[in-house]
């Protein structure tokens, strides 16, 4: 069997995160590493990994580390799922399983589609709110059509089609994809509809397990929580944990970590290599990747913190930090609206210019190399592009693009001052 892994997309909705989605590290390993390992443990076959030119080296390193039987195909431009598969058309033959590189799934779904009995098998998941993807129109277990991004209120069913597709004949898949045309980004779905119209045995199976896609940056928090709640407690013998620190719940603490006096780590947590958790700091249900430093009296809660980020006397709640990030003392990343509404984030592809994250708690989303100065505050759902600076004392309500500096304009009034010296002894008397 050929296992096609789609890892070539651009991830346009992921801004300001610049790291290729499948290469984002979680708990010390890239997401693609975790997913390829899971597939290998459950499906026998040869991997065809479709990558973009920028991610090729990273993808190849992962495939080699896992000792896969693999070939990498390059998708030169991000032109959708059909184009991604066709970029590997000369490698495709026999049975084929098509999977997304990033989706978090229960591995049972692989067997369900492979053994489903149709010429083509797809998987559908029941959803209770609109998702901007393909929807299944079916009669019994027979697929009648795939409706791509129908818009809220126009869904043909409550079943979203997952990218877990089995084809008994890979050559036939290529044949249909090459003939399919569309002015929209749905050539793959058009090809499936044509297979149905031509009388091929196209079926679907209902899937009821976990599914976490990665279309928006705040879904990094969902994946982090999903992976953290599966960990087993382990503290490396190469870590130094003070006897005056408190560790509770399942926690992974890697080699070279230092946990100082008064620090509290409440699991599930991942503390990556060479991280320093400073005096009186609190880390809760978070992923701190390699080389991070949480300085004195910082609180990091339910957040993803990329490598080599620095903090000191800060609050970081429900935030996504890509890495190489720094915060000045007293800066706060707010994560909750006081009216308790769900938090909306900018999205120019929508008519309103915003998308509802569906989260009641969401802090800052920060690109690599960004900075937040002393006593600055960012409001829930704000985004800061890579290498940008939010200056001291700024209250940031919106987004900041890459390579920008945001400063407060301050006007000072300086006048003469003649102090009336007061003895503080009078205050001491009142305290007696």
What is the pLDDT, as a whole number, of residue 138?
86
Domain shared by 22 and 158, yes or no: yes
Instruction: Please provide the DSSP assignment of 346-396 as one string.
Output: E-TTSTTSEEE---SB---EE-TT-EE-TT-EE-TT-EE-TT-EE-TT-EE
In 3D space, the residue among 165, 86, 161, 179 whose CA is nearest the CA of residue 118 turns out to be: 165
Check residue 49 and give its pLDDT: 97
Q: Confirm whether 411 is domain-assigned.
A: no
247 and 314 in a single domain? The answer is yes
Q: Report how far residue 256's alpha carbon sits from residue 152's, in angstroms, rounded to the nearest whole number.
A: 49
SS3 assignment, position 89: helix
Residues 205 and 230 in one domain: no
Domains identified in the chain, total number: 2
Q: What CATH number did the domain enclosing 147 receive?
A: 3.90.550.10
Sorted by sequence, the CB contacts under 8 Å of residue 286 that are 6+ apart come out as 224, 269, 270, 300, 301, 302, 303, 304, 305
Give the pLDDT of residue 421.
Answer: 67
Pairing of strands 96-100, 164-167: antiparallel
Same domain, 202 and 234: no
Sign of CA dihedral 301, 343, 369, 350: positive
CA distance 375 to 313: 10
Structure token pair of residue 221: 């928090």
pLDDT tens per residue across all 432 residues of the chain: 999 999 987 778 899 999 999 999 999 999 999 999 999 999 999 999 999 999 999 999 999 999 999 999 999 888 889 999 999 999 999 999 999 999 999 999 999 999 988 899 999 999 988 888 889 998 888 888 888 888 888 898 999 999 999 999 999 999 999 999 888 878 999 999 999 999 999 998 999 999 999 999 999 999 999 999 999 999 999 999 999 999 999 999 999 999 999 999 999 999 999 999 999 999 999 999 999 999 999 999 999 999 999 999 999 999 999 999 999 999 999 999 999 899 999 876 666 778 899 999 999 999 999 999 999 999 999 999 999 999 999 999 999 999 999 999 989 899 998 877 666 776 677 776
Q: Considering the domain boundaries, does residue 431 fall inside one?
A: no
Let me know whether 184 and 90 are in one domain.
Answer: yes
Q: What is the pLDDT of residue 354?
A: 86
CA-to-CA dists, residue 300 to 252, 278, 287, 308, 333, angstroms: 16, 12, 10, 15, 10
Task: Tell whether 428 is covered by a domain.
Answer: no
Residue 427 included in any domain: no
CATH number, domain of 373, equals 2.160.10.10
Helix (H) or strand (E) holding 99: strand 96-100
**Residue at 323 is within a domain:** yes
Tell me, what's the pLDDT at 349?
66
Q: Are residues 188 and 271 in the same domain?
A: no
pLDDT of residue 133: 83
In 3D, which of 258, 307, 251, 254 has the Cα closest to residue 284?
251
Residue 304 is predicted with a pLDDT of: 98
The pLDDT of residue 252 is 98
Cis peptide preceding 16, ω within 30 of 0: yes
Residues 307 and 349 in one domain: yes
**Chain Cα centroid distance, residue 6:** 16
Does residue 58 lie within any of the structural domains?
yes
CB 72 within 8 A of CB 49: yes
Cα first-last separation, the chain: 84
At 287, phi and psi to the nearest 5? Answer: -115, 110
Give the strands of the sheet with 310-311, arranged side by side: 240-241, 258-259, 276-277, 293-294, 310-311, 326-327, 371-372, 389-390, 405-406
Cα Rg of the chain (Å, integer): 25
Residue with tokens 């190849």: 60
202 cis-preceded (ω within 30 degrees of 0): no
Same domain, 147 and 109: yes
Cα distance between residue 292 and residue 294, in whole Å? 7
Task: Retrieve residue 2's tokens.
Answer: 């050929």
The parent domain of residue 336 ranges over 220-406
Angle (deg, nearest 10), helices 56-65 and 31-42 = 40
Between CA 104 and CA 160 the distance in angstroms is: 15
Establish if 418 belongs to a structural domain: no
- 350 belongs to a structural domain: yes
Question: 211 and 288 share a domain?
Answer: no
So what's the pLDDT on residue 360? 95
Quick one: 227 and 342 in the same domain?
yes
SS3 37: helix
- How far apart (Å, rounded) are the C-alpha atoms in residues 416 and 413? 10
Q: Of the residues 159, 190, 215, which one is the last residue of a structural domain? A: 215
Half-sphere exposure of 314 (CA within 13 A, CB side): 33
Find, among 79, 68, 1, 85, the residue nearest to 32 by Cα: 68
**Is 232 found in the same domain as 95?**
no
Say whether both 341 and 225 belong to one domain: yes
């Amino acid at each position: 069997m050929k296992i096609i892994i789609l890892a070539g997309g651009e991830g346009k909705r992921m801004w300001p995160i610049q790291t290729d989605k499948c290469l984002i590290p979680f708990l010390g390993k890239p997401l693609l590493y975790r997913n390829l390992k899971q597939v290998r443990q459950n499906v026998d076959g040869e991997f065809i990994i479709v990558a973009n030119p920028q991610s090729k080296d990273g993808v190849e390193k992962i495939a080699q580390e896992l000792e896969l039987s693999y070939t990498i195909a390059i998708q030169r431009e991000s032109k959708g799922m059909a184009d991604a598969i066709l970029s590997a058309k000369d490698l495709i033959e026999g049975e084929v399983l098509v999977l997304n590189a990033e989706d978090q799934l229960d591995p049972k779904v692989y067997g369900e589609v492979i053994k489903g009995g149709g010429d083509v098998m797809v998987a559908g998941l029941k959803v209770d709110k609109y998702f901007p993807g393909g929807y299944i129109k079916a009669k019994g277990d027979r697929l009648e059509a795939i409706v791509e991004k129908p818009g809220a209120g126009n869904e043909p069913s409550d079943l979203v089609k997952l990218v877990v597709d089995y084809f008994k004949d890979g050559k036939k898949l290529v044949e249909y994809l090459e003939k399919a045309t569309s002015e929209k980004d749905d050539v793959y779905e058009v090809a499936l509809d044509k297979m149905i119209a031509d009388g091929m045995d196209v079926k679907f199976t209902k899937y009821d397990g976990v599914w976490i896609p990665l279309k928006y940056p705040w879904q990094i928090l969902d994946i982090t929580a999903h992976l953290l709640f599966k960990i087993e407690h382990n503290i490396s013998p190469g870590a130094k944990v003070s006897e005056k620190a408190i560790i509770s719940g399942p926690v992974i603490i890697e080699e070279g970590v230092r946990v100082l006096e008064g620090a509290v780590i409440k699991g599930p947590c991942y503390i990556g290599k060479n991280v320093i958790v400073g005096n009186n700091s609190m880390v809760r249900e978070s992923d701190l990747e390699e080389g991070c430093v949480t300085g004195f009296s910082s609180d990091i809660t339910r957040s993803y913190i990329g490598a080599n980020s620095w903090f000191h006397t800060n609050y970081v709640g429900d935030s996504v930090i890509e890495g190489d990030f720094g915060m000045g003392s007293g800066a706060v990343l707010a994560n909750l609206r006081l009216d308790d509404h769900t938090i909306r984030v900018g999205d120019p592809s929508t008519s309103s210019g915003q998308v509802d994250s569906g989260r009641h708690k969401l802090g800052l989303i920060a690109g690599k190399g960004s900075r937040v100065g002393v006593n600055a505050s960012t409001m829930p759902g704000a985004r800061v592009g890579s290498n940008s600076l939010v200056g001291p004392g700024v209250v940031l309500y919106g987004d900041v693009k890459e390579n920008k500096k945001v400063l407060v304009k301050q006007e000072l009034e300086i006048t003469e001052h003649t102090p009336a010296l007061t003895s503080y002894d009078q205050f001491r008397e009142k305290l007696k």
